Every structure is written in C-alpha cells, then in structure tokens.
Amino acid sequence: MDLEDLEILQELITESKEHLSSIEPDLLEMEEKGTDISQELINRLFRAIHSIKGGFSFFGLDAIVNLTHVMESVLMNVRDGEMSINHEMVDYLLMGVDKTREMIDDIDSADSIDVAEVKRGLEKFLEAEAGDDTSDDAIVEIPDDAIVEVPEEPVAEVPEEPVAEVPEEPVAEAPEEPVAEAPDDAIVEVPDEPVAIAPPKPIPPKVVEADNAGNQKTKLDEADKQRLHSSSSEVLRVKVDLLNKLMNLAGELVLARNQIVQVLSRKLNETSAGESLTKSLQNSLQQCRRKITSQFRDMAHQESGDIANVRDSITDAINREMDILSDQLNMAADIRLSGVPGLNSAMVNVDTVTTDLQENIMRTRMQTLGAVFNKFPRVVRELSRKTGREVKLDFSGSEVELDKSIIESLSDPLTHLLRNAVDHGIELPEDREARGKARMGTVGIRAYHEGGQVNVEISDDGAGIDTARIRSKALAKGLISTEQSEKMDDKDAMKLIFAAGLSTAKEVSDVSGRGVGMDVVRTNIEEIGGSIDIDSTLGQGSTITLKLPLTLAIIPSLIVAVAGRRFAIPQVSLEELVRLRKNDPKRRLEKIQGADVLRLRGKLLPIVRLADLLGMSGSTSGSGGESEEGKAVQIMVLKIGLQRYGLVVDEVLDSEEIVVKPLPSFLKDAKVYAGATIMGDGKVAMILDVTGIADYATLNFTSLEAATDTGVVDTSLSNTETQTLLLFHNHENDTFAINLALVSRIEKIQRDKMENVGGKEYLRYPDHSLRLIRLHDFMPVSTPESEPEELFVIIPKLVTHPMGIIASSCEDVINVQVDVDRDTIRGTGILGSAIVEEKLVMFLDIYSLFESAEPELCKIEEVREERHSLVGSKILLAEDTPFFRAVEKKYIEEMGCKVDIAKDGQEAWDLLNAEGARYDMLVTDIEMPNMDGIELTRNVRASSRFGEIPIVALTALSSEKIRQAGEEAGVTAYEVKLDKFQLTKTLNRVLQEVTTNA
C-alpha cells in the first residue's frame, strides 16, 4: 500500500469511528421510537453504515464489508417498512457496531475477529423477512418501492442511494462506487454532528458533485447549510500532540512575559531611584559650592593681594569642576531615565496578545461533553434491561465545552454515577407503581455553566437515599460515634457515602444501595479539581452535582513560602486564610490529643505545619522552629470534600495563575506534590497536593468532629443569627464593617498601581478596569491625612456594576451576633452602626454608596420612574438573618412600600393567615429555620384565600438548583439578595404583571 493510500485509510478509519459513535445513539433512538421513527433518522443510520462499507470495500477489507453489508441490509428493510424494529434486532445491530469498531481499531487483524454470531443473528431477520421471496428479490424490490414513493414525497434524496445500491455483491460495487458516493455522505453526515469534521476526500468528477448538490438542496435548511459550509472549508484536523505542544509553548510565553514584566518593573524602580539619587547629589553639590564660596568670602577679609588671587583661581577651578560634575550627573540621569522609548506600550501589547493567545490555544483543546454523554444511552439501555428497570434517559447540555483532559477523566466517574442511578436509584417497575410513581423511571444528566465552572448533575426519580441506613452502617463501621450520628442532620449523613471506609465495604452497598466506590468517584472528581455534592429525598430521588473547572493546564493558585521557598496551592482547594496574631487569647492554636488544632467558628480543624511535613529547617512556622516573637501565624484552611484542615506556612505571598507541569516519574512517590510550575523569576516551585498532604499527615478528622460535637467546643457562636463581618479602616479612627457574604474578594495593591482617569481612580486588570472609590469622597466620614503605600481594595459581589472600595487596612474577619442600629449614625452609604468588640463600627451600604459614586451607572433614576406600581403596596418580608432583614426592609421601604416582617417561614405563614391580613406580595428568603422559603411557598400556593399572591424568592447565591426548586414550588420571581437595582425592577415587574392580569 503506498503512502497516499495509507493516509486515505487513516482518514477513513477516523471518519468511520465518528460514524460508529453516531450510529449508536441513533440505533437507540430508533428502538425507542419503534414504528414511529422518522425517515431522516433511518436514512442517517443507513448512510453512516453505508459509507463505512463503501470505504472499506475500496481497500478490499472484506471482513468489515461483509458485516456492514448485513447490517445495512437489515436497516434497508427497516427503512422501507418491510421489517419492524425489535429489541433483539437492535441488540444484534449494536453488537455489529461493536464488532465493526473492534475491527477498525485493529485493522491488520480484522479478518481474525469472529463476527459469525452477529452475522447469523442479523441474517436471521433477513431470512425471516425474505420468507416467500428470496433475498435477491427483496433487494430488487427496493428501487421499485422507492421510485413509486418519489412523486408523493418531496424528499428528493431517495432515488439516489437505492439505485447505487443495486449491486448485491459488495465486491462488485467496489472501485468507483465509494468515489461517487463520497461527497454525498460527507455532506449529509454533517448536520447531525455539528462538531464533526469533514475529512478531505478524493475529489469526485464535477458532474457528480453538481448532481448531488442539486438533489441535496431540498433537504438542507439554512443552519445545515451553514454548518456544511463551515465544515468543508474552515475546519481541519489537528493532531493532539501538536495542540499540546502549542499549549506548552503558550505556557512558556506566559512565563517569559511574566519574567519580562518583572525585570521591567525592577528597571523602572531603579530608574526612579536613580532619579532621586541624582537629585540629592545635585543638592549636596550645590550645598558644597555655597559653603566653599562663603568660607572663602569670610577669609577674604583677612587676606592680602597674592593670597586673594590664589583663592580666586582655586574658587574658579572648584566651580568649573563642580559645573562639569553636575553636567555629567545630569547626563547620566538622562541616559538612565530615557530607557527605551515606547518599551512600555509595546510591553502592554505583548501582554494582551499573550493572554489572548493563551486563551485561544486553550480553547482548541475544548471538547463538548457530548463526547462523554453519547455513550450513555447505551449504558442505560443495557443496564436497565439487565436489572429489570424501565428507565428513560434525559440529557441536556451536551454542547457544554470542557478541556479535553477533563472530558477524558470524566467518563469513568460519570458512568459510575449513572450506573448507580439506574441500578440502585430507580426502583423496579412494580415497586414504582406500588408507590404511585410512573413505571418508567427517569435519569437525567444536565450540564451547565455556573460562575466560571461547569456543573454536571445526575439525577434520578428513584428511591432516594435512606439516611437511617447509612447512619447505622457508618456506626457499625466505627466511622462515626453514637453522639455524632444523633447530632448529624440528614444532609451530613448523606455525605457519608463519600467516606472511604463506608463505600468500599461491600455489604453496605448491598443494604443501602448507593455507595460502591463513591469515594473513588469523589477522588476522581477532586483529582481534576472538581467537587461533588449530593442531595436526596427519600422516596423521591437523588441528585448528584459535580462542579468542574474548565481547564487544568493553567490554574489560579496561591503562592506561599516556607523557609524562603515557594509553593503553590490550587485556589480551588482553598477555603479561607486565617491569620492568628500572637498573644491573641481569643484565637490561637490549641492542643487536643497532642495535635495542633484551630478553633474556627465552632469547629475544630486539624493543623499541619508545612515546614514539619517537609522536614524543612529555617522556617518561622515549624513546631520546633525559631518562631519570631509577635509574628502572626498564617493558616490556610484547605478543603477535601467535606473535610477541612489548616496548613501553616511562614508567609502568604500572592495569588497567581500558574502553568501546571506534570511531575517527573521519579517523584511519583512524593504524594504531597501535585505538579510543578515555573515562577516569574524562572525558579521552579512545587504545587502542593491538598489531599496528599492530609494523607501523609494522617489527619484524624473524625475524632475532631466528635470533639466538636460532644461540646468540647463552644458551638454557641455557630447558630444562624451570627454574621461574618469584615472589619476595615479608612481613617484610622473609623472602623467599617461589611458582611463577608457581600465581598467577592480583597486585593492588596500598591498605591502607584492605581490609574487616574478624568478625576476618577481605576485599577487595571488584563481585560477590564475596576473603578475605585474612597469612602470619604462619598460618605460623611473622616479623610485620612496620609495613605500607606499598600492599600486594600474590597470588591463586593452581587452588584450589577462592581467598584472597589479602598481601605487603608483590613482589621479582621469576625463572627458576631449583632443588631444593626439604624438611627444613631445615618448618611449616604451607611446602613447603620453597632458595637463590635467594644468598638463603634459603621456598616456599609454598598448600594447607596455606589449609587452616589456612579449615579449614571446605577440608573437609579430610571428605577424611580418605574416605581409607580410599587408605591403604597403592602409587602410581607420573610427573612431570618437580622442583617439582611434590615437591609431588605430598608430597600423595599425606599421603593415606597409598606413592609411587615417575619423572622421565618412559620411567622410569615401566621401573619398571612392572621385575621384581616392582606398583602400585595410576599418576599421571602429560601433558607430559614422552622419553615423554609420553599415550604412556605408551597403552603401559600395551596391556600384558597391568598394562593394567588405573587412571591419573590431571595437568595444569597444564584444556584440553578434552588431556582428550580423555587419554580416548582410556585415562586413568581427570583432575585439575588441585596442587589437593590435588580430587586426594585423585579418587584415592580411582578406587581405590574399581577395588576395587568387582574
């Protein structure tokens, strides 16, 4: 076989594999639809098989040709309505797909693969069909049927293939047939596979092409044409190797860019240092000159002629020398200062281009989830038949894209979860009926983007998880103590299925259903930087949610240092940073059972000292280390699944996007590392493996949980009424507080990094800039006399147009129970005040602050006009958190409404039911004690008296799942807490709709 042929064969193999992967779901769809199958589906199937057959017959690979020929014949009969589809037939066809794939995978020994059984199975159908006719007749019949059909059907495509099909022997059809067929197949295949790439094909004679195109026209809609067009001219196959290489190179470029930026900024610093040095030199030169001159002048009084002459010439000489010196200094400074003109702007360019390039190359590695999802229908089909379940598989989001490597490592865990859902989730049809459910269970897979991540949900409407059983098993296994089991709520108990000890035990899976290898699934997901969560209602079903990163090659991470060495920690594993000041009695490390622990919000966290773990000396944070007096302890709270631990380091340096390099195989035994990366200065830094560290340190999470739960720890702080507040300063006398739930992030910046444009200050990011505001510009608070070089920028979330709030220092993050007093201190941007830790603290109202900073942006005027339908309405507000309650009440009142308050769902329910009560709208939180927002909504909707009331649900985080639950319960609209602008709009819209409908 010459080289060209080899290449064509290679193409054919790739293409045939694509066909095979599309045949599979199509077969399943065909089976499901039964007699109701569309002509298009069966044609698609037929064509796919046909082009595989045609292609391989060109190469004389009879084994493949013979098998596909039989499959084709069966499909042809189905297409022509001469055979009806049944399970057995689909079974054999699927087996045929498998065998074909096997042969294509190992083309050299294709002949040795045993296909007799499949062929026999399929031929049985053909023979049965032939019955009175011979099979020859059957084939001859086809063109007749087809031709008769033509006038009735606008589908112009029919005559072609059957006619081309007439030769019965695969051998006879060999040489020119595939060539003539080629453009036809390639074109038709495209519409059902948007990602499919049309391979280069031998170019057919012009005439044929025109003819085919003419025939096709009637079948293609606009979208198809577009795809067709783009796939034939703008897509090409690229080797993964090459992409990986490009990806690597882009990574290098990013590193190189970072290095240049570092060098450049050092240079600029030097330049400015040089400038001030020159200035001070000039100054001292001037001073020297003045002193000498005046000294000589003083001497002049006591001198006579000769000496005076000498003195004058000396003075002249000194002056001359000094002039020269000063000139040279200036020259030197000029040279330093001028640097390379235009370098800075060129650098900015390089910077953006590099970022763009990197992003785009990363995108070339993206694949759709469809690649994984496609094989699921078959998995479900086989499993449901094996287990006697009736299961319908629903999936959405196949088009969501993820990095190739993530897609590849998702396949196993997802299949596992799917198996679990069918095998253990969905009940037997009889049981389902007995419970009043539909015989057929539903398993759903949904993928969607949320907050820069991709969520994949696997849900079933089966039996749900029996937490009582899990509890008892976990107890029996000694994973939890009796007290723990009692204290544990159902949600926590459910999460036990991810625990290693529970799930690997075989008998547990037999009893509780779920859980074979759930810890393995969890590990797999966490390995690719994702997380897993479960929700289940007994008797109603379960949902497992995976949160996945978009890509792995470049990850945001935190750079920390121990003993002068840097390490990177993936940001996904980082929950929070805790800084313990020395001699702070309230917050310190304690010892329990001889091990360090951190008391954090009523929980005890085990502590690992990185210096000890790695056996490094010279650290300030190791246990035996020469801890500096008064130095704060830096703890990173890291998460693994449900567990948390603290990692103590010397210093927290910076957060950076790092390029992950795999570890050499020599280091695979060192489990504490996840990889390596190259820092801006060219040095290598190790990436820490959060799970590996916990394993190595053999952390004992359970005994600590026991300690937490048995009251060793004061848990009074962790009830729902506490708030987490960020305390910070602007002027040193003023302390401000903002609820941490409202803070997206805090950044430390150098003052000179701020840019002043049009009298406003901005912080520039690679792709956008952030407006910065100083509190004293907009609020009645003191203006600081001086500003430190380093400032903090607090960036709030849940706002339409975020702005950064400048703080001179951040004091602390605390958990307190606090009631905001709204009367003592008032003014723009102030929500109220409270005494926190014996200090008067002002609570920020970021919305009114932003409004006054950027009235244009907040478009508050527009909202005011829209308000008319709100004015005078009576609104019931259910919210358990006092802080949110105060804020929301204020906002709604500002809209001109009357507000009644309920502290939880139950209270709201009582108020609604009260004698003579009448509300225009219910605004409710979702998460509340006693009766939550969902339950409240359900109850309200069931009421005859006020069932029609519009309900707006509020939540602190926009979760798709909660939104869905809310919608199912009957929530009218849904809004994110504390976005005043949006809230006003939504309330207004809802009321307006109600009025219009009434």
Partner 1 sequence: MREQQFASFRLDDHLFGINILLVREIIRNVEFTPVEHAASGIRGMLNLRGQIITVLDLSTVLGLEPRVVDKNSHCIILKTTDESTRVMGADEIDDNIGNEVIGILVDDIADVLSIDDEDLESAPANAKGIDGENLQGVAKLDGKLLLILKMRKVMSHWMGRSQSGMLSSMKETSV
In whole angstroms, the minimum distance from the beta carbon of 403 to partner 1 comes to: 8
Q: What share of the chain is helix, strand, coil (3-state, %, to 5)?
A: 50, 20, 30
Q: Could you tell me which stretch among 147-155, 165-173, 487-495, 683-691 binds partner 1 (CB under 8 A)?
A: 683-691
CA-CA distance, 472 to 476, in Å (whole number)? 6
Regarding 676 and contact with partner 1 (CB under 8 A), the answer is yes
Count residues binding partner 1 (CB under 8 A).
Answer: 44
3-state secondary structure of 492: helix
Each residue 540-559 as x (binds partner 1 by CB under 8 A) or -, in order, gives ------------xx------
Each residue 353-392 as x (binds partner 1 by CB under 8 A) or -, in order, gives ----------------------------------------
Of 612 and 705, nearer to partner 1 (C-beta) is: 612
Identity of the amino acid at 394: D
Regarding 635 and contact with partner 1 (CB under 8 A), the answer is no
Regarding 842 and contact with partner 1 (CB under 8 A), the answer is no
Q: Could you tell me which stretch among 119-127, 511-519, 657-665, 884-892 binds partner 1 (CB under 8 A)?
A: 657-665
Closest to 686 in 3D by CA, of 584, 592, 570, 797: 570
Regarding 947 and contact with partner 1 (CB under 8 A), the answer is no
Site for partner 1 in 688-717 (CB under 8 A): 696
Tokens representing 379 are 């998995």
Q: What is the 3-state secondary structure (H, E, C) of 427-490?
A: CCHHHHHHCCCCCCEEEEEEEEEECCEEEEEEEECCCCCCHHHHHHHHHHCCCCCHHHHHHCCH
Choose which of 569, 686, 834, 849 interacts with partner 1 (CB under 8 A).
Answer: 686
Q: Could you tell me which stretch among 244-252, 332-340, 534-542, 700-708 binds partner 1 (CB under 8 A)?
A: 244-252
Q: Could you tell me which stretch among 273-281, 535-543, 682-690, 782-790 binds partner 1 (CB under 8 A)?
A: 682-690
Regarding 665 and contact with partner 1 (CB under 8 A), the answer is yes
CA-CA distance, 996 to 998, in Å (whole number)? 5
- How would you list the strands of the sheet with 565-570, edge to edge? 651-659, 554-562, 565-570, 684-688, 673-678
Regarding 34 and contact with partner 1 (CB under 8 A), the answer is no
Q: Could you tell me which stretch among 320-328, 384-392, 404-412, 920-928 binds partner 1 (CB under 8 A)?
A: 404-412
Of 114 and 669, nearer to partner 1 (C-beta) is: 669
Site for partner 1 in 883-922 (CB under 8 A): none
Choose which of 289, 375, 416, 661 interacts with partner 1 (CB under 8 A).
Answer: 661
Of 464 and 530, nearer to partner 1 (C-beta) is: 530
Regarding 663 and contact with partner 1 (CB under 8 A), the answer is yes
Q: What is the 3-state secondary structure (H, E, C) of 857-910?
A: HHCHHHHHHHHHHCCCCEEEEECCCHHHHHHHHHHHHHCCCEEEEECCHHHHHH
> How far is CA 650 from each of CA 331, 566, 614, 623, rounded to the nearest angstrom?
45, 10, 13, 12
Choose which of 258, 409, 531, 730 interacts with partner 1 (CB under 8 A).
Answer: 409
Of 83 and 254, nearer to partner 1 (C-beta) is: 254
Phi/psi at 700 (5° precision): -105, 90
Of 255 and 814, nearer to partner 1 (C-beta) is: 255
Q: Could you tell me which stretch among 202-210, 242-250, 893-901, 932-940 binds partner 1 (CB under 8 A)?
A: 242-250
Whether 574 and 637 have beta carbons less than 8 Å apart is answered as yes
Each residue 511-530 as x (binds partner 1 by CB under 8 A) or -, in order, gives ----------------xx--
Of 23 and 255, nearer to partner 1 (C-beta) is: 255
In whole angstroms, the minimum distance from the beta carbon of 626 to partner 1 comes to: 19
Nearest 5 degrees, angle CA 252-CA 551-CA 499? 130
CB-count burial class (<10 Å; 0-12, 13-18, 19+) for 685: buried
Q: Which residues pair with 810 in a beta bridge?
A: 728
In whole angstroms, the minimum distance from the beta carbon of 698 to partner 1 comes to: 15
In whole angstroms, the minimum distance from the beta carbon of 555 to partner 1 comes to: 10
Write the DSSP assignment of 931-979 as a string of letters: S-HHHHHHHHHH-TTTTT--EEEEESS--HHHHHHHHHHT-SEEEETT-
For the chain, the straight-line distance linking the first and the last C-alpha, in angstroms and rounded, comes to: 79
Whether 278 and 335 have beta carbons less than 8 Å apart is answered as no
Regarding 625 and contact with partner 1 (CB under 8 A), the answer is no
Whether 484 and 705 have beta carbons less than 8 Å apart is answered as yes
CA-CA distance, 505 to 500, in Å (whole number)? 9
Identity of the amino acid at 724: T
Each residue 251-270 as x (binds partner 1 by CB under 8 A) or -, in order, gives xx--xx--------------
Nearest 5 degrees, angle CA 732-CA 733-CA 739? 85
In whole angstroms, the minimum distance from the beta carbon of 667 to partner 1 comes to: 6
Helix or strand run (H / E) with residue 578: strand 574-580
Site for partner 1 in 128-157 (CB under 8 A): none
A 10 A CB-CB count for 481 gives 17
In whole angstroms, the minimum distance from the beta carbon of 72 to partner 1 comes to: 37
Of 331 and 684, nearer to partner 1 (C-beta) is: 684
Regarding 718 and contact with partner 1 (CB under 8 A), the answer is no
Choose which of 151, 388, 478, 615 interacts with partner 1 (CB under 8 A).
Answer: 615
Of 245 and 945, nearer to partner 1 (C-beta) is: 245
In whole angstroms, the minimum distance from the beta carbon of 404 to partner 1 comes to: 7
Whether 554 and 477 have beta carbons less than 8 Å apart is answered as no
Find the radius of gyration of the CA atoms of the chain.
Answer: 37
In whole angstroms, the minimum distance from the beta carbon of 104 to partner 1 comes to: 23
Residues that bind partner 1 (CB under 8 A): 244, 247-248, 251-252, 255-256, 403-405, 408-409, 527-528, 552-553, 565, 614-616, 660-676, 678, 682-686, 696
